[in-house]
Amino acid sequence: MKHETPKATRHVNQNEGLIFEKSSAGKAAWKLPPLDVPEVDPAKLLGAAQRKDLGNMPEVSEIEIIRHFTRLSTWNYAIDLGMYPLGSCTMKYNPRVNEAVARVEGIANGHPYQPEEISQGALKILQTLSECLIEITGMDAITMQPAAGAHGEMTGLLMVRAHHHAQGRPRKKVLIPDSAHGTNPATAAMVDYAVENLKSDSRGMVDIAALEAQMSEDVAALMLTNPNTLGVFEQEIHKIADILHAKGGLLYMDGANMNALVGKVRPGDFGVDLMHLNLHKTFSTPHGGGGPGSGPVAIKKKLEPFLPTPVLITKSNGTLGFDYHRPQSVGRVRAFYGNFGMFVRALAYIQANGPDGLRETTEDAVLNANYIRKGLEGTYDLPYSTPTMHEVVFSDKLQAKKGVRTMDIAKRLIDYGFHPYTTAFPLIVPGALMIEPTESESKEEMDLFIDAMKSIAAEVEEDPQTVLDAPHSTRVSRLDETAAARKPVLRWKPAV
C-alpha cells in the first residue's frame, strides 16, 4: 500500500486446512472415565436403531484442535482488535466480568425444569434485569423470552395482533418507513400483516403528512426505529404517536438504536406502546460472530394480558415463580425462558455502569458519532444535515465519480486496520456509508479512523485502482460470491 498506516502492521499468520484434512484414524482428544455400571451391547438394546458408522467425523488430538481454532481465530477481525464502526450494530466493548459471572456453577448449570424452590437465584436475576429494562425504557412490563431482535419483533407483532383482536377489530397492515431494517417487513409477513411503505421526508424523518394520509383503522401499528437508521431522532415523535393512537393504532419501536437514548430519554415517555431491545447491542453481550442474541420486548400495561407464557411472578409466599395460566397470551415463542445466559451478562453490564455510567455511555456514544461526522464532513457527502445521534450516514457520491463505491472504500478500510462500516444501508441513501463508533472508542482510535478515511478519499482521487482492488493485506482477496451462490458447496467431502 501507498501510505504506511499507524493503526496496523502486517504480520505473519498461519495457514490452516480444514479439520477433516488433519484427521487420521486412531488420534483422539477425549478420554472417558471407567464405567461404574455394567457395559451394555447397543445392538441388543437398540436393534435396528443402532448406528454403526459416524461417517467422516474427524479424529484429531487436543493440541491440533487448540492450534486449529487458534489459527482460525487470528483470521478474524474483532472488537478486541480495534474499532468496529458497523452502523446499527452497536459493536461496543464486551466486558469480561460478564463472561466470568455467566460461568459461575449454579448459573451455568441450572436446569430449566429444576424446582422453583431451588431456582430462586436465576429467577432473581430475571426479575432484577426485567425491572432495570422496564425502568430504562419507561414501559410497564416485559417478556425476556425472544432469542434475538427479529424474534422480539415477531413477539411484539403477535401481541399487537392479539390486542386488536381483543378490541374486536383485527387490522390488516403495518406501516414501515423506507429506512427500516429488513427484519421489520420480514417479521410483519410472518405475522400475516401486509406491509405498507412509509416514505421519509427531506430531513430523513417520517413524513408526517404522508403518515396522516396513510393512517387508517386498517393499520395495526407503525414499526419505527428511533433514532432511525440515519442516526436521526424523530423530532416529531409525539405527533407520530398521536396520529397512530387517534385511529387506534400502536407505536412499535425497534430498539436497535437504543444506545443513543439510555438514561437520556425513555421511549415509554414519548408514546411508544411496545418495543424490543437487543441485549447484544445496547447491553454489551458479545456478538460472538453472529449470535447468540437476546430480544426482550417491553410493553405498556394494555398489552400485558398478551405476554408470552410463562410470566415471572412473585407468589403469595414471597418467592418467585412462573405463571403459566394466561388465557389471553400469544403463547410461547421459544422453549424454556429465553437466552438466560445473555440476561446474566446484561445485568452485570448494568451493575458495572449504574445510572451515572449508563448516562455517560450514551453521551459518549453520541459525542463520538458527532466527532466523526465533523471529521469527515466535506471529505464524504453527507446526504442529510439533520443532527446526528449515535451514528452518521455518508454517501459515496463524491467517490462514485471516480468509479469507487461504498463497498470499495469499506474494503480498503481493512488495509488500514479497521473493520468496514455498514455499506449500502439504509436503502434511502444510495451508496451509504453508515458509521456507528459506539462509546467504546477513544479519541486516538477515532482520529486514526478519520485519518484512514481521509487517506482513502485521497487515494480515490490519485489512484482509484488501489481502492477498487482492496483489500491488499488480508489472507484472501475479494471472494467470488457469485460462484458460491451459483453452485453451492456447503460442506466438505473427502476426495474420491
Q: Which of residues 53-112 bind other proteins (CB under 8 A)?
A: 54-60, 62, 65-66, 68-70, 72-81, 84, 86, 89, 91, 93-95, 97, 99-112
When asked if residue 324 is in the footprint of other proteins (CB under 8 A), the reply is yes
Name the one residue in this structure whose C-alpha cell is 406491509.
195
Helix (H) or strand (E) segment spanning residue 397: helix 397-400
Q: Which residue number, 209 or 486, has a Cβ lying nearer to other proteins?
A: 486
DSSP reduced 3-state for 108? helix
Rounded Cα distance between 150 and 153, Å, is 5
The region of 4-12, 143-151, 214-222, 247-255 touching other proteins under the rule CB under 8 A is 143-151
Q: Which stretch binds other proteins (CB under 8 A): 150-158, 207-215, 393-401, 451-459?
A: 150-158
Interstrand relation of 173-177 and 219-225 (parallel, antiparallel or unpaired): parallel
Q: Does 408 bind other proteins (CB under 8 A)?
A: no
Position 359 contacts other proteins (CB under 8 A): yes
Does the footprint of other proteins cover residue 484 (CB under 8 A)? yes
CB atoms within 10 A of CB 381: 17
Whole-number minimum distance, CB 388 to other proteins, in Å? 9
CB of residue 489 to other proteins, shortest distance in Å: 4
Binding-site string for other proteins from residue 441 to residue 480, where x marks contact by CB under 8 A and - marks none: xxx-x-------------------------x--xxxxxxx
**3 state DSSP class of 276:** strand
Residue 189 C-alpha cell reads as: 409477513
In sequence order, the 6+-apart residues with CB closer than 8 A to the CB of 69 are: none
Using CB under 8 A as the binding rule, whether residue 355 contacts other proteins is answered as yes
189 lies in the binding site for other proteins (CB under 8 A): yes
172, burial (CB in 10 Å: exposed 0-12, middle 13-18, buried 19+)? middle
**CB 285 to other proteins: min, Å:** 10
Q: For the window 109-138, what string marks contact with other proteins as x by the rule CB under 8 A?
A: xxxxxxx-xxxxxx-xx--x---x--xx--
Q: Which of 2, 3, 169, 182 binds other proteins (CB under 8 A)?
A: 182
- The interface with other proteins within residues 200-239 (CB under 8 A) comprises 232-233, 235, 237-238
How would you list the strands of the sheet with 274-276, edge to edge? 141-143, 297-299, 274-276, 250-254, 219-225, 173-177, 194-198
The verdict on 494 binding other proteins (CB under 8 A) reads no
Cα–Cα distance, 335 to 235 (Å, whole number): 39
Nearest-angstrom CA–CA distance, 97 and 90: 19
* 496 is a site residue for other proteins (CB under 8 A): no
The one among 88, 130, 143, 149 contacting other proteins by CB under 8 A: 149
Nearest to 92 by CA among 346, 270, 335, 271: 346
Helix (H) or strand (E) holding 251: strand 250-254
- Among 300, 405, 411, 412, the residue binding other proteins under the rule CB under 8 A is 411
Q: Return the ∠ at Cα 185 (arms to 384 and 490), rounded to 5°.
A: 105
The cell for 493 is 467431502
Q: Which of 351, 381, 397, 451 binds other proteins (CB under 8 A)?
A: 351
Minimum CB distance to other proteins smaller for 129 or for 457: 129
- Considering the rule CB under 8 A, would residue 311 count as an interface residue with other proteins? no
Total interface residues for other proteins by CB under 8 A: 198
Helix or strand run (H / E) with residue 224: strand 219-225
Enter the C-alpha cell of residue 93: 466493548
- Per CB under 8 A, the list member of 12, 45, 209, 495 interacting with other proteins is 45
Q: Which is nearer to other proteins, 103 or 401 (CB)?
A: 103
Q: Looking at beta carbons only, is 6 or 291 nearer to other proteins?
A: 291
Interface residue with other proteins, options 305, 383, 387, 464 (CB under 8 A): 387
**Running DSSP on this structure, what letter comes out for residue 241?**
H
333 is an interface residue for other proteins by CB under 8 A: yes
Rounded to an integer, what distance in angstroms lies between the CA atom of residue 240 and that of residue 224? 10
Cβ closest to other proteins, residue 40 vs residue 461: 40
* Contact status, residue 178 vs residue 197, Cβ threshold 8 Å: yes
Alpha-carbon span 144 to 157, nearest angstrom = 15
Q: Which is nearer to other proteins, 270 or 395 (CB)?
A: 270
Residue 150 near residue 183 (C-beta atoms within 8 A): yes
Residue 246 interacting with other proteins (CB under 8 A): no
Per-residue binding letters, 256-295, with other proteins (x by CB under 8 A):
------xxxxx--xx---------x-----xxxxxxxxx-
